[in-house]
Every structure is written in C-alpha cells, then in structure tokens.
Structure 1
Amino acid sequence: MNNQNRPVIVMGHKNPDTDSICAAITYANLKRKVTGGDYIACRAGHLNEETQFVLSHFGVETPSYVKDVRTQVRDMEIRMLDGIDRNLSLKNAWSKMRDAGVVTLCVTEGDELSGIVTTNDIVETYMDVIDPKILSEAGTCYRNIVETLGGELIVGEINDVLTKGKVVIAAANPDMMENVIEEGDVVILGNRYDMQLCAIEMNAGCIIVCEGADVAKTIQIQAREHGTKIITTPHDTFIVARLINQSMPIEHVMKKDGLVCFHMDDYIEDIQEVMASMRHRYFPVLDKNDHYIGMISRRNFLGARKKQLILVDHNEKNQAVNGADGAEILEIIDHHRLRTIETAGPVFFRNQPLGSTCTIIYLMYKEYQVEIDKTTAGLLLAAILSDTLMFKSPTCTNVDKKAGEELAGIAGVDYESFAKEMFHAGSNLSDKTATEILHQDFKKFTVDDLTIGIGQINSMSAEELIEIKNKIQPELNNVTSDDGLDMLFFMLTDIIDESSEVIFAGNKAQHTLSSAFGVSVEGNSVKLPGVVSRKKQLLPSIVETIQQ
C-alpha cells in the first residue's frame, strides 16, 4: 500500500471557534491550489452554533471530526495480498506464499475473512499426518488432485469432491489387492491392465495411472459403468504418493477461531503488545465494515509514517488535537502568543499580531496571488468578524479591518447585518446544557504550575447574556473540578456595550481578578468595561498577576 500520497491534515484547536474552523478550510484550499497536494480540513471538536451558522450560510460542508492523530494501522505499509479461496490446495497455497515472500495467507469468502493459513500449518500437516483417509476427510476436490499431480482427468467429473475412502498404492498382485482396496478408495497404479480392472471392479472411487501410460478404451468403459474416475499423470508412483496429500484444501488446516486481526483505524501503540505476544508474523487488516484489506507484519512498524499535520489558530499543546505530539507537524499558522508545541524538526511557522488567523491566511492568498472566490471570502470574513467582535476588539488592527472590508465586497455581504445574525446564532443557546455552554468556546492555559480555563460568549443582546449567566453560574464549581482546573473564568461579552462580565470559580480566582484589573470583586462575578478580548486583555493580565 503506497502511503506517499497520504493527505495532510489542516486542523485548529479543541473546542473550535469560527476562526479555527474557517482557517482550516481556507488554508487547506490555499495549499491545494499552490502545491497541487492533498490537504484536508478537519476539526478536533464539535462546532458551536455560531460556526454552524457560518458554514450553513455559505453552503460549506462541516470538516471531518478527527479526535486523535496518533499513528494508525492505515499509516503502515500494508501488504495488499488478495485473499484466497478455502478450497485452494496446499500446494497452490505454498506456491503463492513462496512467490509473494510471505509465510501467511488470508482465506476469504467475498470480502469476509474466514481464516488464515501459515507455512507452519502446511508443514505440520505434510510431515505429521499419516492418515491415508486424510483427503476424503478434508473433502478434497478432484480438480485439486489433478492440478497437484499435473495430470488429466479422462473419466469422471472434475468438480466432484472426494468424500470417502483412503489412498492406496497397488503394489501387489490383484489377488492381494482385492483384500486392500475398498469402495471409494483412490488407487495409485501403473500401466498393468489387470490391476486397473481389479481396482475398478472393487468400486474404487478413482484410479491414478502413473508415468503417462495409456489407458485402454475397455478400461475407460468399465470405469464409467462403475462410477470410477481415471486420472493420468506423467509422474511415477513415488512422486504421486509424495504429492497427493498436497491436494487437500487449505480449509482443512487453516485457523478459523480466535483470529487476531486489526482494523485500519487501530492505533499502532495499542496493537504492538498483541503482535509481540503472537507466534505468527503476519496479521490480517480489516476496514471498519470488517472487510479484508491486506496484511501487516511486525517489521511494518519500522515503516509506519506519522500523520502529517498543519496547525492553525493555536500553538499550545493542551489545545491541540490528541496525539499531536506524535504527529509530524509541518506548519503552524497562528496569531496567539508562543507556547508549548514542540516539533521534531524545523517547520514553517507564521505568527502575526493580528486579530484573526484568517487575516493571516487572507494575506497569504494575496502573496501567492491566488484568487479568493466568493465562498472563501465569506468564510475569511466571518472568522475575522468573529475574532475581532466586528472590529471592536482591541486585538483588531487596521490590517484586519481592511481585509474584512475587502472580503465583504468579494462575498457580496453587508458585514454589519451578517455579524448581527452570526453573533445572535452564537448566543442562542436555549437547547444547550450549562456544561455545553461553558465548553463552547473554551481554552485551557498553563501558567507556572496552574491550569486555567477561560471561556467566552459574545452577544449583541444584554438580555441574552443575563439568561446565559443564570444558566451556567450554578455549574462553575463542578466544571472547575471535573476539568482539573485551578481557576475558571467565563467572559459574557456585550459587543454593543464593549464590555464583559466575568464569572469565575477556583480558590484564587477572585484575588487574581481583583489584582489583575484593580477592581473590587464581590461574589463570583465582576463587570469589566472595555474588556472584550480573551487573548489580548483578560489572559495577559491574569498571567502577569500570577507570575508576580
């Protein structure tokens, strides 16, 4: 399986906001146009109402949800060997293994896995089994016998199955053989007419005539009358006796129960221990519908390629998708402070002090001279409006505002009307629980040894914000405890009034807010006029206070 053309995942942070999602979609689109490569936008969490509104408004599909980017079986070199039929002879199975350079084959019915057979299974059967009735017990098809002996069936139906009798060599005279041959037996003999006739009259199931000897017409007539098949083979008696057990179907020796197999989405760190504990080297791989795909071996771990990842709108480890530290990070496009993402090698890193990641991506479209279509313009605009609170946030720069105005023109959107609809959709949370609202636009930060959570809801309606506050306030302490936070702050931001009410929980939260903003804090909330940005106003003040 060629993994050279695996897609590169473009993804924002957990609890994605509009900037994160739109950045992933538009940057993946830019990379495809510039490089011609396969870049797909994904998300690391569930969409909030505001982002759902934006995607629906511009008719854009929701990016696929990827909860973990650890290396999976699908990232390994998978041996794409076709499954084999349960009726295949041991000889043909052995030949397939030799030609493919493997020691295991998978037995399938259609796309379904029904068993596995190894060289060891074949060798043990060939070396250890001396039962002369093994071919009939295995339900061997005459076609297998003919193919294994390189022979020709001159009397009988080749698709019939041997169901009774033993294999016997007619080495004695007819008088003695009459006491040996039983009905249904397979008799190996030479060109002696009397021996051939004797076997037929004893109702042998089949006679195998060796060394390419001619079979008389009268013998053929007698065979048809007695229902005896006749096979001719160029091999001598010794070679035929040695080869004939190789004609039995692999179904008789294959493993059917307790098969150890893996799925394409299994993480390789989860299957290593299982593989190490098994004696055989190859393991079947199935898709999510349990259809057979191919095989992997222990040595395929050496060639497993990490997922390739581009991060947008974050560069902090605890905000990144699960498993990001084990992926190959190629690029980071962000507008936040530098934090804790570590990479194995150099990466393309672009970080600018702008109000939105999508403003950076807008600039990159310009730099690469890639035309911005109407849909892309709408997504970029929505992200900029969201992150800059319709250009009212202190994080907003002239570059953001200029970009937003130009994008509004391309998208054919009145950005003020659109922003009102978008923010209203984002604050319409009547069907969500308090915990869901708290986590809708929520980020964790590590400051010294403390873990801090900061969430935010923006609205153009003071009444909506009061309703949201009343709903979530009773759950603050529970969420703080459940999320393992030392402090939790939640911003209820009034876009029109350009202020935020911050409600909080945690032992040191009240003192931290009071010191950070020089205000008297009573209860578990405080009104902060002019504070609307989590990134540029609330978080820096809290960090500075803690570090002092």
Structure 2
Amino acid sequence: MKTLVIGHRNPDMDSICSAIGYAEFKRATGMESAVAARCGNTNQRIDFALEKFGLDSPVFFADVYPRIEDVMQRNVVSIHRDAPVYQAMTRFGEDKFRGLPVVDDARNCIGLLSAFKLGKYLFPPIENLSSSRIVEASIAHIRDAIRGMLITGREDTVVRPRTLVVAAMLTESFQKRLEQLDIPSTVLIVGDRWNIQELSIIAGVPAIIITNNFSPPDKILALAQEHGATLLSSPHDTATTTLLARAAVTAGQMLSPDFACIPGDATLRQTRSDLALSSQFAFPVIGANGRMQGIISKGDLLRPAPRELILVDHNELTQAVAGAEEVPIIEILDHHRIGVAPTQQPILFVNRPVGSTSTIVADCFRQARIPIPKPIAGLLMCGMISDTLNLTSPTTTQVDREIMEELSKICGIQPSDLASEIFSVGSPLLTLTTKNVITADCKEYEERTVVFSVSQIEEISFSQLEKKRSELIEELEKYRASHNYFFSALLVTDVNTQNSILFVRGSESFTRLIGFPEDGSDSWRLDGIVSRKKQLLPYLTQTLARMA
C-alpha cells in the first residue's frame, strides 16, 4: 500500500512544501509508505526553494484512477504453445484461474487454455469415446507426458495423429487386433507381455511404451533395433500411462484463439463495465510493448487499488487530483474553507484558520516533539512565506509568527532574507505563457450551484502588467469558456505594495455588481487585498448571493 501525500491541482508553493513536509512527518511517526506527490507542474519559485534546501520534487501523478496494473497478478503462470498440455495439468491450481495463458517464444499471449476444455478432451462424452484413442503429438511429447525414458530407437519429433492401443488381451486376440490397426500411426502401450511386443515389432508398429519400468529382454531390444522400432519405458501402470499419453498434445493445439486482452493502463471502473457480461475465465494484461505483463480475473476487478491519499492544502474534490473520488482518502490537512471531499470512513481532518498548511505541518512536528530536519524546516518556511506574503497577509495569525520564528532558528535563515530571494525569482508575467499564468495557481469553487475559478500570481511590481493586460483578458475568457465556468478571475498581487489587480471574465449580471474601482476593461483595483482565501473569495461569494 502506497500513501500519497498530495496537494491540489495547479500546485503553489505551500501545496508542494506541505506535501513534502507532511510525508516526512508521517514517515517519522511510523507510516513508511508515505510519499510526497503532486498533480501539476512546479514553477521557478518552487524549483528555487527545492534546490536551495536540497530536496527532490514530489512524485508526479496526472491522476490516481485505479488501473488494471494496480490489481493484476504479475507472476503469471503460463505455458508455451509447444509444451504438452500435461504441463498445464500440473500447473492448474498454482493460481486461482480455471486455465492458463498460452505464450509464444517472445512471451506474447496467443490464446487461453481452458481447464474445462482440456477436461472434455481428456474425458470425452460416451458418444465420442472412439476419439479418445487418437492423440495428435510427437513421440517426444508422449515421452515427456508420461515422464518416461527412451530405451532404444529414435524419438520422432513430428506432430501428427497417433493411435493409442492398449494390449490388454490374449496373444491370439491381439493378433486379430493388429490386422485392424493403422500400423504406421500406432503407439502400443503394454506391460511385460514380451510375446505381444515381439508380434508388434515384426508387424511394423513404430513405437511401444512398456509400463511399470519393465526392462525388455535382449531378444526384444535386438528385434526393435532390427526393425527400427522405438521403445519407451513408463514408470506408471498401463491405465495411468494411457491417460498421461493423451495429455501429450501441445497447448497450441488446445488453446482458444479468440480472447479479450486488457491494457495495463485501463481504468478499473471502465474495465468492470466492459467485461461485465464476458464468460472468459481470465484476461491477459498487455503492456505498451504488446507483451503480456500480467493476468487478471473478474474477482481481481473488485480488489481495491494499493493506494490511499492524504490531501494537503485543499479539501474539495474539484481541486483534488483526478481520480481522488475512487481512492480512499485517509487524512486531510488544510487551512481553507470547508468544501469536504467525501470519504468512505471517519478520517483525521485537520482544518485550522492559519496562514498556510506548512504552518500546520510544522506544528505537527512540534506537538509530537519530533525534531524537524533542517531542509524540511527551510522548505516549510518557503511555504509559509509564499502563502502569507512573509506574514503580511491578513490570513497571518500569531501561530504563524511563532512557527516562523522556530523554523528560522532551526535553519539559521531570516524570513525577510528568504522572502526576498523567493519573490525575486521568476516573475510569472515574464517567465510563464499567458495560459500558464491563468492555470499555474488556479482553483475551482462551487457556490450555490455556481461553478467558477480564481487564479492568483504574485509579482514584485505591476511594471509588466500593462504589456500583458489584453492577452490576459483574452486567455481568461478562453479558460472560462473551455470549462463552462460562470466566471473566471485572476488576482495579480504586488507583494511590495500589498495591492492587487483583479481581472474577471464572465456573466455581466455578475461583473456589474463588483464594487471595487475599475482599472480598465474587465479589471478592478483592489488596494490592500492580497489574500484569495480570506479577502477575495468571501467577497466573490457575497456578490453571488446578491444576485439571488
């Protein structure tokens, strides 16, 4: 089981830093399976923070939908197409399947060998009993099937019809039987009846199986060599030898070539629907290279994926990694409004009105009295600085200030110095495409059945904004239309002046109610507004309420 500690889509600094920090905390408290994860790209500021403190970026997951490769059996019990089916008989029961996949030299699955079909072959209905004497196999395969030994002669490797004849009769009766046989295709199964063996060799029977490990006398050996007959020795009695010889046909001869395969990256949900009415007993799982990488039964489709989630810095499914609704969520650690992702059972849900999720993570270490590693302390400082604009945002609390002071002592770095480094790196307006400016830190919300998005970027000044204004408005409208949002907003914040410019594209019935001073087409000036969570979002939801 892997536990993914993962932030929201379009991750910001706090989302990445809190994921890494909380995964470290969970491992330190006994959850060795905890892994920091992300579901979006990092930006230059995040990359700077990771490099500064020598930490790797969280593992990327485009989605967490349970897939076939999550629940398939990887150690596949299979059989080669040229192998006698007696090998399949010995392998039935090594797994839970009612058959085996048949593979070629390259391990490609070419069909399925059904235990039911094999059973009907070995034990045919009464009306077809005569066919039970015919086995299409080579002498070599027959010897393998009975686990016998070559006494003398040549092992024919040609696969062709052979007639199994049991010499369980008097000599006189057998002489009459010989006259009725197709001698070239006959394989005689006999015990220590040397007179019958002699008659058969002289008559031209090409192969004789001597049961119970009886050793033929020198006279019989010499006669077989003279007539070119092949003598095999079986360790079993005549009845068992006959049954095993029937199993000398190859798997390739018995396979069902019409079968369904499943790609390993197929989702469990879709596969359950696709295979609901299939009677196939098992399904080979095919990799990107076309080769079999596993096998799965219908029962396996009901198994849970070996993956669970801890959500950090968000608690709404609309902001979570794709597929989160199909994976158990076992914890949530957040500092935003409660939208609440549904869970299958009671969970630990920590939601605190502080400035950042990194603050909560640091406090978890503090309450558990676990020392915070220096690199983790530095990274948590970065998350706090970014989300609280270095403790100047109205979301900042006394807890944030206390935690920041403790982290600063651990790292030996002043918050103001670290903040200057972070905000001087990678101006979004200069380093990102216009589309990425909108999507880099974008969150989706739903209020009163209305779905909308709010993006935010931080700049050290508005000097680059005028050059991008028209492009930003155009791209914001494209983003809104492509997601069918009621409106989409972008908050551009000047971290030095603590002022913002708000861009909004959407229904005029909404935008005409925005009461801030206009700053041009589709934009408003928000002096003293820097927090999307505590200042802007409440205003937007109140404006929506006024429309009702």
**DSSP 3-state at the match of 2:394:** coil
Paired with 1:338 and 1:409, the residues of 2 have a C-alpha distance of: 33
SS in 1 for 2:80: coil
Give the alignment's TM-score, normalised by structure 2: 0.87
Native 8 Å contact 2:430 2:464 kept in 1: no
Deviation per CA, 1:177-201: give whole Å up to 9, x if none: 3674544642334545454345445
- The one-character-per-residue Cα deviations of 1:221-276 (angstroms, maximum 9, x if unpaired) are 34345543211336565654444211222221123x45423355432211113332
- 1:155 is matched with 152
Contact 2:101–2:111 (CA under 8 A) maintained in structure 1? yes
Structure 2 contact 429–465 (Cα < 8 Å) conserved: no
SS at match of 2:425: helix
8 Å contact from structure 1 (residues 455, 489) kept in 2: yes
Paired with 1:111 and 1:487, the residues of 2 have a C-alpha distance of: 54
Q: Partner residue of 2:170?
A: none
Percent pairwise identity: 30
The number of aligned residues is: 535
Partner of 1:125: 121
Map of 1:473 onto structure 2:
473
Q: Which residue of 2 aligns with 1:350?
A: 350
1:82 aligns with 2:80: no
SS of corresponding position for 2:465 = helix
Please, which of 523, 526, 531 is the counterpart of residue 525 of structure 1?
523
Given that 1:306 and 1:327 are in contact with CA atoms closer than 8 Å, whether structure 2 keeps it comes out as no
Q: Where do 5+ consecutive residues of structure 2 fail to align?
A: 168-172
Deviates more, 1:210-219 or 1:242-251: 210-219
In structure 2, C-alpha distance between the alignment counterparts of 1:235 and 1:533, rounded to whole Å = 85
Alignment match, 1:20: 15
Greater CA deviation, 190-199 or 213-222?
Answer: 190-199
Q: Alpha-carbon deviation of 1:386?
A: 0.8
- Per mean C-alpha deviation after superposition, the further-off stretch among 9-18 and 266-275 is 266-275
Pairing 1:115–2:116 present: no
Match of 1:316 in 2: 316
The 3 A distance-change label for structure 1 pair 201 and 416 is farther
Structure 1 pair 82–482 and aligned structure 2 pair: CA distance change class (3 A): same
Distance 1:164 1:66 in 2: 54
What amino acid is aligned across from residue 501 of structure 1 in structure 2? Answer: I
- Kindly state the Cα deviation for residue 355 of structure 1 after the two structures are TM-superposed: 0.9
What is the alpha-carbon distance in structure 2 between the residues aligned to residue 350 and residue 68 of structure 1?
24
5 Å-filtered alignment, 1:382-401, equals 382-401=382-401
TM-score normalised by the chain length of structure 1: 0.87
* Off by >6 Å, runs of 4+ in structure 1: none
| Aligned twin of 2:207 | 206
Q: Pairwise mapping of residues 414-433 of structure 1 onto structure 2 (< 5 A)?
A: 414-430=414-430, 432-433=432-433
Shift of 1:350: 1.0
Alignment CA distance shift 1:467-1:413 (3 Å):
farther
User: For 1:321 and 1:404, how far apart are their aligned partners in 2?
Assistant: 29
Within-5 A mapping of 1:18-167: 18-76=13-71, 78=73, 80-98=75-93, 100=95, 102-108=97-103, 109=105, 112-126=108-122, 127=124, 135-136=135-136, 138=137, 140=138, 142=140, 144-149=141-146, 151-156=148-153, 161-164=157-160, 166-167=162-163
- 1:141–1:17: structure 2 CA closer, same or farther, 3 Å change rule? farther
Q: Separation in 1 of the partners of 2:186 and 2:354?
A: 88
TM-superposition CA deviations, 1:277-299 (whole Å, max 9, x none) = 22123223455655545433223
Matched to 1:400, the amino acid is: D
- Report deviation, 1:42: 1.2
CA change 1:206–1:528 in 2 (3 A) is same
Distance 1:141 1:114 in 2: 25
* Secondary structure, aligned partner of 1:445: strand
User: 1:415 and 1:363 mapped to 2: Cα distance?
Assistant: 17
SS for the counterpart of 1:526 is strand
1:474-513 equivalent positions in 2, closer than 5 A: 474-507=474-507, 508-513=509-514
Question: 2-side partners of 1:83 and 1:208: how far apart?
Answer: 29
Relative distance call for 1:531 and 1:238 in structure 2 (3 A) is closer
1:295 matched to which residue of 2? 295
- Matched to 2:22, the amino acid is Y
What is the CA-CA distance between 1:66 and the residue it aligns to? 1.9
User: Per-residue deviation at 1:88?
Assistant: 3.9
For residues 107 and 368 of structure 2, the distance between their equivalents in structure 1, rounded to whole angstroms, comes to 46
1:381/1:407 contact within 8 Å kept:
yes
Q: Which residue of 2 aligns with 1:3?
A: none
Q: Does 1:276 align with 2:273?
A: no
Structure 2 CA distance for partners of 1:467 and 1:164, relative to 1, 3 Å: same
Cα distance in 2 for partners of 1:261, 1:51 equals 42
Gap change, CA 1:243 and 1:467, over 3 Å in 2: same
Q: What is the CA distance between 1:39 and its match in structure 2?
A: 0.6
Give the 3-state SS of the residue equivalent to 2:275 in structure 1: helix
Shift of 1:10: 1.0
1:192/1:20 CA distance change after superposition, 3 Å: same
1:377 aligns to 2:377 (yes or no): yes
Shift of 1:501: 0.9
Q: Give the Cα separation in 2 of the matches to 1:50 and 1:294.
A: 42
Gaps of 5+ in 1: 1-5
